Amino acid sequence: MNITIIGTGYVGLPTGVCMAELGHKVICVDRDENKIRSLNSGIMTLFEEDLEELFHKNRKEKNIEFTTSMKTGIENADLIMIAVGTPPHPITKEADMKYIHAATTELAEHLTGYTVIATKSTVPVATGDDIESLISKRNPQADFDVVSLPEFLREGFAVHDFFHPDRIVIGTTSERAKTLITQIYKYFEGKTVFHYVNRRSSEVIKYASNAFLAMKIHYINEMANFCEVTGADISEVATGMGLDARIGSRFLSPGPGYGGSCFPKDTLAMSYMARQNNLEMSLVNATIEGNIKRKKDIARRILNTVKDVDKPTISILGLAFKQGTDDCRESPAIDVIFELLQYKVKVIAYDPKAMTLAQELLNDKIGYSNNMYDALENTDCLVILTEWDEFKTLDFEIVKNKMRTPTIVDCRNILNKDQAISSGINYLGIGK
């Protein structure tokens, strides 16, 4: 089957590469010329665990091509997946639909033969209806169906999640579209659940899922606070809770708050959509506010460890919003750093993959280190903000010798507290 992906970012690129790996002929269209030039020269434009090898393999086998030309991308497509960004509108915080509208307008005129247009982007309810009427207006002859095909991949695990989805949600009532999508996803038959729903339900499933997961993270962060004041240990509590199949063990790791390009914007968009319908989503709203406060609280904890130090320097390990990606959009690490900088502390940071993208956000406001140990030289507090495996190997003797005052604030609970303390380090975890 011929598949065209519009938007070659954190969703579009892995989806395109993995679809090619399944044997489809894939064309990825992006309007960013630099991105397409790099991809056509065999240079990856983002870091995503396990993606690069599949990218090179499928390029070599000519299963995947990259272009800026919408015409080239669209004219032979059986399925078009729209995977452009839907960032929060700067003022209203609703999902900004300008990229979706632009992509739809551009693709409409090139449609030939029956084509299914699927939204992979996370889009507000009834976007499918809007896309349908926009295409019909611009190209009345077009033979097409618009399907909602929400994406549930986790950055850092995009390749794994593509091949092992918990479910594939297909939002359409068109039998023709269902047949085509089922053919394209044939590999997954018997391996996962195909959940056929109407288009609006599918659009809601994505927002409802992300809002729920964000809430679960906020909830465990609140429980971590509760453990701290009651003398319990959040790791023991989370394991105890997670053993209940109704709750499940995932997304019960406390930390510096959720981030990334999805949960913050999708909770805001959900809240906006509810308000537009005269509904108040109290849980979603509390989650949004709680998560903003969480990052400030974390900064306050860090500052508290250096309150008696003259001109303190703080080492930050981890800038990406989670491990396995270089994505720093809405990263709690970046927000915590900005909060710290208000208090005139010096910050030096290291991340195994996200240095370039973090520097675009932080510029020269902080210092950067080439490795995790150099980031500790003569500093007063070491803060772990991203759960990279590399940081779990920290040698406490080296930490102690390098730092001026050996204090660790482990915002991801990835280090061994007892070993740190017995090495003479002042260790502060979360919820302990």
Active site residues: 262
Which stretch in 28-36, 174-182, 249-257, 305-313 sits in contact with ligand NAD by CB under 6 A?
28-36
For ligand NAD, the closer of residues 32 and 132 by Cβ is 32
Could you count the other beta carbons within 10 Å of the beta carbon of residue 419? 12
Burial class (CB in 10 A: 0-12, 13-18, 19+), 359: middle
**Residue in 273, 360, 304, 351 with CA at minimum distance from that of residue 86:** 273
Cβ 333 to ligand NAD shortest distance, Å: 17
Measure the CA angle with vertex 158, ends 47 and 237; round to 5°.
Answer: 105
d(CA 392, CA 398): 14
d(CA 338, CA 256): 14
For ligand NAD, the closer of residues 11 and 108 by Cβ is 11
Does residue 32 touch ligand NAD according to CB under 6 A?
Answer: yes
Cβ 18 to ligand NAD shortest distance, Å: 14
d(CA 258, CA 332): 7
State whether residue 170 is helix, strand or coil.
strand
Which residues within the stretch 88-147 sit at the binding site for ligand NAD (CB under 6 A)? 99, 102-103, 106, 120-122
For ligand NAD, the closer of residues 14 and 256 by Cβ is 14
Binding mask 151-190 for ligand NAD (x = CB under 6 A): x-x-x-----------------------------------
Residue owning tokens 């729903």: 197
For ligand NAD, the closer of residues 265 and 295 by Cβ is 265
State which of residues 74, 79, 81, 83 lies at the interface with ligand NAD (CB under 6 A).
83
Does residue 351 touch ligand NAD according to CB under 6 A?
Answer: no
d(CA 126, CA 308): 55
State which of residues 4, 18, 21, 35 lies at the interface with ligand NAD (CB under 6 A).
35
For ligand NAD, the closer of residues 20 and 103 by Cβ is 103
| CA 222 from centre of chain | 22
132 token code pair: 């349908």
Cβ 339 to ligand NAD shortest distance, Å: 24
21 token code pair: 């790996």
Give kind and range of the element (H or E) at residue 63: none
Does residue 80 touch ligand NAD according to CB under 6 A?
Answer: no
Q: Which residues share a beta bridge with 357?
A: none
**Residue in 325, 322, 330, 339 with CA at minimum distance from that of residue 412:** 322
Does residue 31 touch ligand NAD according to CB under 6 A?
Answer: yes
Does residue 261 touch ligand NAD according to CB under 6 A?
Answer: yes
CB 386 within 8 A of CB 351: yes
Does residue 84 touch ligand NAD according to CB under 6 A?
Answer: yes
CB 203 within 8 A of CB 130: no
Binding mask 3-22 for ligand NAD (x = CB under 6 A): ---xxxxxxx----------
For ligand NAD, the closer of residues 28 and 382 by Cβ is 28
Does residue 29 touch ligand NAD according to CB under 6 A?
Answer: yes
Cβ 81 to ligand NAD shortest distance, Å: 10
Which stretch in 134-142, 149-157, 333-341, 392-400 sits in contact with ligand NAD by CB under 6 A?
149-157
For ligand NAD, the closer of residues 41 and 278 by Cβ is 41
Cβ 31 to ligand NAD shortest distance, Å: 4
Residues 6+ apart with CB under 8 A from 396: 419, 420, 423, 425
Q: Which residues share a beta bridge with 115?
A: 144
State whether residue 254 is helix, strand or coil.
coil
CA atoms within 13 A on the CB side of 257: 23
Count of residues of this chain found to bind ligand NAD when the rule CB under 6 A is applied: 28
> Where along the sequence are the contacts to ligand NAD (CB under 6 A)?
6-12, 29-32, 35, 83-86, 99, 102-103, 106, 120-122, 151, 153, 155, 261-262
